[in-house]
Every structure is written in structure tokens, then in C-alpha cells.
Structure 1
Amino acid sequence: MADAHRLREKGGDTEKITINLGYVDLGHIDLLVQEGFYSNRTDFIRTAIRNQLASHSDAIKQAIVRNTLELGLRRFSREELETVRAAGRKLRIRVVGLAVIADDVTAELARETIESINVLGALQASPSVKAALATRIE
């Protein structure tokens, strides 16, 4: 993965999602839990998702390289953005995972230094920074 940057992955950080399942599928899951194959519904669902991701891992890796995405946790500090501003540059943020813009980054600094944001996963930033970048979030 020449153009992709593998960043630190944190296993303890999760994002809550909601899914709708048919009663029969849910019953099948409950049966597998009851039979001891899985500890609970969540364990089954996480395992199923991981298995699907593993089966498509080559396609995922190729897409990351093709799109020059950063993988994992990427934190943008005030100091980093001030350096970008001093160099007269703008960032195109592309992350698969979690992108965090530090709490001490002002809306003005974010507007001056971030050209676009594409996050497949989650973006954490102050409400004022998110509002300032609303038109730049893809």
C-alpha cells in the first residue's frame, strides 16, 4: 500500500449503529446464541461484519491505495493546521476510520486550512468547526 498510510487502530473505540432484521433472521441469531456459538447478538453481528470485511479485503486495500486514503485514527492538531497555514497550503482530508480535529482548533483556522473532508467512518470536531466546514464535508 504505497500511497496509503496505516495509522493506529484503537479497538476500544466504537460507533453505535442500528440495523433492522426480519424476525426469522433474528430468531436464527438467537438460536445460535442459545446453542453457544456466540455469546450474544452483538457478538454474532460483529463476527458476521468482520467476515464480510475479510472476504472483501483485497477490494478494500485496492480502494484505499487508489483513493490515497489514510486508515485508522487521524488527529489534526492546532499546531499542525497552523503549520499548514504558514506554508500557504490547504489539506484534503481523506480518512477511513476516525478523523479528529482537536478541540482547540478554531472555526477560522479550520476554514483557512482545510479544503475538503471525506471520512468513511466518523468525524469528531467541535460544533463550530463542523459548521464552518459544512460545505466542504463530502
Structure 2
Amino acid sequence: MPKIHRLPEKHADTEKVTINLGHVDLGRIDLLVREGFYSNRTDFIRSAIRNQLISEARAVDQSVARHRFELGLFDVTRADLETLRDAGEVLHLRVVGLARIAGDVSVDLAQDTIGSLNVLGSLQAPKDVKAALADRIT
């Protein structure tokens, strides 16, 4: 079966997110940076996001449980999918975090064994596998 790992709060892999802020909010952030509360704008924004996620942790946990999502890092290897194929089973993957399909997974194997992909966060997979599964990704 695929392996599930909890992601540490801070890890090397990140996704870039672009936001638009009003001039006043941006100025207030810059003031806090200048006063030494934060090292830069990014430090402030990360801190604000983490604090908000902590305050909403119960709602996130309830939603994860209600929708049967896996939380964290979910690795899918060729061996995992071959085991599923041999057992006549299909994977329906629901992840909050990072889902990774190994680089040695062929398009045919992925199509035969992955029924659906619902990833809130990031999906890393070979381009040809992503393209072949495009109609199964929500």
C-alpha cells in the first residue's frame, strides 16, 4: 500500500503563492519588518498563515475526517501500484498536503490502478502520467 507520512511544520519543499495586498496593509507589514518583529515580508506572511491555521486546526481536522482525506505526504511507488493491480484494486487518492507519484510509474500502470486523485496542496508526478490522468484529477 502507498505510504503516508506526516509533513513537518517546516520542510524544504515549498510552493510559491502570489497574493495582492492593499497599500496600507503592505505598509503596516513593512513597518513591523523595519521595527525588527519579522526579518522580511515573507517571514510575516508565513507566520500569519501558520497562526491562522493553528486557530482553525479543529475545523481542518474535522473536514479531513469528514471527507476522508489523508493529511501530510502521500508517496505512491511503482511497487505500490503493481500490488494494487495484481490484487485487482484501484486507488482513489484524497490528500491534503503533498501527493507524489514516483518517476518510474508508467502511464499504463497509472491508468490501470489510479481511479481518482483529489489533492488539496500539491501533486508531483511525471508529466505524461499527470496528462494521462487529467480527467481523474479533481
Q: TM-score band, normalised by the shorter chain?
A: over 0.9
CA–CA distance in 1 between the matches of 2:24 and 2:116?
43
Task: Give the conservation status (yes or no) of the 8 Å contact 1:7–1:70.
Answer: no
CA, structure 1 residues 6+14, in 2 after alignment: closer, same or farther (shift >3 Å)? Answer: same
Aligned residue for 1:88, secondary structure, equals coil
Normalising by structure 1, we get a TM-score of 0.93
Identical pairs, percent: 62
User: Unpaired segments of 5 or more residues in structure 2?
Assistant: none
Whether the 8 Å CA contact 2:4–2:75 is kept in 1: the answer is no
Structure 1 equivalent of residue 65 of structure 2: 65
How far apart are the structure 2 equivalents of 1:60 and 1:71?
A: 10
RMSD: 1.3
Indicate conservation of the 8 Å contact 1:77/1:102, yes or no: yes
TM-score (norm 2): 0.93
Q: CA deviation at 1:7?
A: 2.1
Is 1:74 aligned to residue 66 of structure 2?
A: no
Offset of residue 6 of structure 1 = 6.6
Equivalent residue letter for 1:120? L
Which whole-Å CA distance do the structure 1 matches of 2:27 and 2:41 have between them? Answer: 10
Which stretches in structure 1 are left out of the alignment for 5+ residues? Answer: none
Aligned residue for 1:22?
22
- Whichever residue aligns with residue 86 of structure 1, its letter is D
